[in-house]
């Protein structure tokens, strides 16, 4: 004896997805529901956060592309003597 009830149910199955709806608003709502499920921590970011990210990437790119440099800093006191001397080596 074979059990064909599962196969019969599968044969009668008709897929119903909100993505196949005729109404564009319902399709958009279904897509938005899927995306919100994929990105649970998503929040709209402000312009300031976007600017900070762009500046960080720009600085990182600049550090990667430009040759390393050495920096010497001399600070003198009002009397003319050396107060601080720092030498920051290049990498």
Averaged confidence pLDDT in the chain: 77
Helix locations, the chain, DSSP H: 5-12, 24-38, 47-65
| Residues of the domain holding 65 | 5-88
User: 55-59, 78-82, 86-90 — which is least confidently predicted?
Assistant: 86-90
Question: Which pLDDT value is given to residue 34?
Answer: 77
Name the pairing type of β-strands 71-76 and 82-88.
antiparallel
Tell me, what's the pLDDT at 40?
A: 62
Do the beta carbons of residue 73 and residue 50 sit within 8 Å? no
**Number of domains composing the chain:** 1
pLDDT of residue 15: 67
Q: What is the pLDDT of residues 20-57, one digit of tens each?
A: 778 888 888 888 887 776 766 666 778 888 888 888 88
Is the entire prediction scored with pTM above 0.85? no
Q: Tell me how long the chain is.
A: 91
Confidence at 91, pLDDT banded by 50, 70, 90: low
């Amino acid at each position: 004896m074979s059990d064909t009830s599962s196969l019969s149910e599968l044969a009668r199955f008709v897929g119903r997805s909100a993505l196949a709806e005729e109404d564009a608003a319902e399709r958009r709502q279904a897509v938005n529901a899927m995306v919100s499920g994929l990105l649970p921590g998503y929040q709209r970011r402000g312009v300031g956060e976007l600017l900070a990210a762009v500046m960080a990437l720009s600085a990182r790119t600049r550090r990667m592309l430009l040759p390393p440099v050495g920096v010497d800093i001399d600070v003198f006191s009002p009397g003319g003597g050396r107060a601080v001397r720092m030498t920051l080596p290049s990498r």
